[in-house]
A and B are shown apart, each in its own frame.
Chain A
Amino acid sequence: MSMEISSLTPGVLVDTPAARVAVQPAAGRLSLRARKAALPALGAALGVSLPTRIGQRAAGGGIEAICLGPDEWTILTPADAVAGLLAAGAGVDHPHSLVDISARELTLRIQGPRAADLLTLACPRDIDTIPVGEGRRTVFDGATVVLWRDGENSFRMDIWNSFAPHLARLMGIGARELAAEPA
């Protein structure tokens, strides 16, 4: 069996009446680790007020932040803003780590009338426990992913590159299966 293992390029992977899955254009991604005391200063430097409850998101000035753990955040930015944010973070006088992880992951956009159903294919978590406007790190068929819920049936999924071809293929099968179900 021939398998496509090269990295995915931006574009639509599958488009059925049930769901549409597309690889998003490359984005800037930063991983931030810091203690609570450093948050006000870091937020001011990065231009976004960092949320403190796990799963909460914040957006501002073209960047988005999500709280993934008690001391961990992921920040999404336009690719050309990464260097500026790293420099801004370096000026903060609190111990922290701010690392460019742009090359580590890609993002799928999953939307359509049955997008939430499609995610139940390989995610053991109850998708309905993720409120619209929040996100969670969870697992999808064995791979750790970050799921952003932008709407009732609109999601983004951040996936480490090495898992992406497998999950993309799975999404394709799932979207076609859901579309083939008798109404």
Chain B
Amino acid sequence: MLLIHCPYCDETLPEAEFTYAGEAHVIRPPDPSALSDDDWQGFLFIRSNTRGPHYERWRHFHGCGRFFNAVRDTVSDRFLTTYPAGQPRPALETLTAASEDRK
């Protein structure tokens, strides 16, 4: 089972307390009716399907209830970091460097 650090509870907890909630940093267009059908479809359905570090949302469902963001390597399942929703996307270089340090 994965162990996930909740940035609100500040505890590392079993995956069973969490639910996955898709790719992070997908911004809803402020004026959807101004978009072409293709662009709207892109917002609704098209995701990056990254191989490697993936910025994604999780929810501490059986806990504090909060959504937060995580960077998880989709190949190794290793979590590089988790951070509160609303914070800017952390640069990948800083994460992989920190992750190498921990090895």
Complex interface: chain A residues within 8 A of B62 (CB): 137-139, 144
Q: Is B63 within 8 A of A136, CB to CB? A: yes
Q: Is A124 within 8 A of B63, CB to CB? A: no
The number of residues on chain A lying at the interface, defined by a beta carbon within 8 Å of a beta carbon of chain B, is 14
Which one, A22-30, A41-49, A66-74, A98-106, is touching chain B? A66-74
A112 interfacial contact with B, CB 8 Å: no
Q: How far is the CB of A41 from the nearest CB of chain B, in Å?
A: 23
By size class, the interface of chain B is 10 to 19
Q: Is B64 within 8 A of A137, CB to CB? A: yes
Complex interface: chain A residues within 8 A of B61 (CB): 144
Q: Would you call the interface of chain A mostly helix, strand, loop, or mixed?
A: strand
Bound form: Cα–Cα A69–B13 in Å: 15
Q: Is B16 within 8 A of A70, CB to CB? A: no
For residue A140, which residue of chain B has the nearest CB? B62
Complex interface: chain B residues within 8 A of A125 (CB): 13-14, 17
Q: Is A124 within 8 A of B17, CB to CB? A: yes
Q: Is B63 within 8 A of A137, CB to CB? A: yes
Complex interface: chain B residues within 8 A of A70 (CB): 8, 64, 66
Q: Is B1 within 8 A of A54, CB to CB? A: no
Q: How far is the CB of B2 from the nearest CB of chain A, in Å?
A: 11
